[in-house]
Amino acid sequence: MSAQNSPHASEPLPPRQERASKGANPLRRPSDRFESWFRGLLMLVLVLGLPVAALSAGRTAYESSMRTVQAQSAQRHEVTARLTSTVKDGTTGGKQQAQVRWTDDNGTVRTGTTLVKSGTPKGATVRVWVDRDGGLTTPPMNELNATTTGWFVGGMAAIGVGAACHAARAGMRHVLDRRRYAQWDAEWDAVEPLWSARFRR
């Protein structure tokens, strides 16, 4: 039989279907569309929220630390003290605890313990920090400490936002997958008897 006499020869060719527009895929389930939308939302949060959170937290920490720097600088000052005993050389070098004596602003002789370089002889002078009451204290925070704190807190805030977005995405996938598996089980329970009946005929 020739192609002209073929029963399909006179039938017109089916119209060429245009490519389905994005989002019109019939195989896409509502859960797929929701998942795609949720991923876009999380990406927006990462792009916009992450830098805002990092800068805001870092700036807040920096300003708080600078207030501490100013307060400690106003409350502490350095004085000259003398060692009351020779500091022995340590096996690893560095500094060791030693007794020192100094005179406070009121003329009172005071003593205390501070870190002194190993090998420093008795009677040598060292600089120590004291508070308003004249007692030994640690050096005040400086601007470098405040800057480091701001960067650290800002970085932790950025990591926190990123981790929260990742956890939200993983949790969303877990919930949707459970719903999908339940839906597949229900559909299989409805289709399986009809499908398997064909092999029992």
Residue-wise over 45-73: b if at least 16 C-beta within 10 A, else e?
bbeebbeebbeebbeebbeebbeebeebe
* Residue 95 pLDDT class (50, 70, 90 cuts): confident
Q: What is the pLDDT, as a whole number, of residue 8?
A: 46
Per-residue confidence band for 90, with pLDDT thresholds at 50, 70 and 90:
low
Which residues on neighbouring strands pair with residue 100, listed in sequence order? Answer: 83, 112
Q: Could you tell me which residues are beta bridge partners of residue 15?
A: none
Q: How does residue 9 score in pLDDT terms, banded at 50, 70 and 90? A: very low
The model's confidence at residue 176, banded by pLDDT at 50, 70 and 90, is: confident
99-102 contacts, C-beta under 8 A, 24 or more apart? 100/126, 100/128, 102/128, 102/130
Over 60: is that where the pLDDT of 33 sits? yes
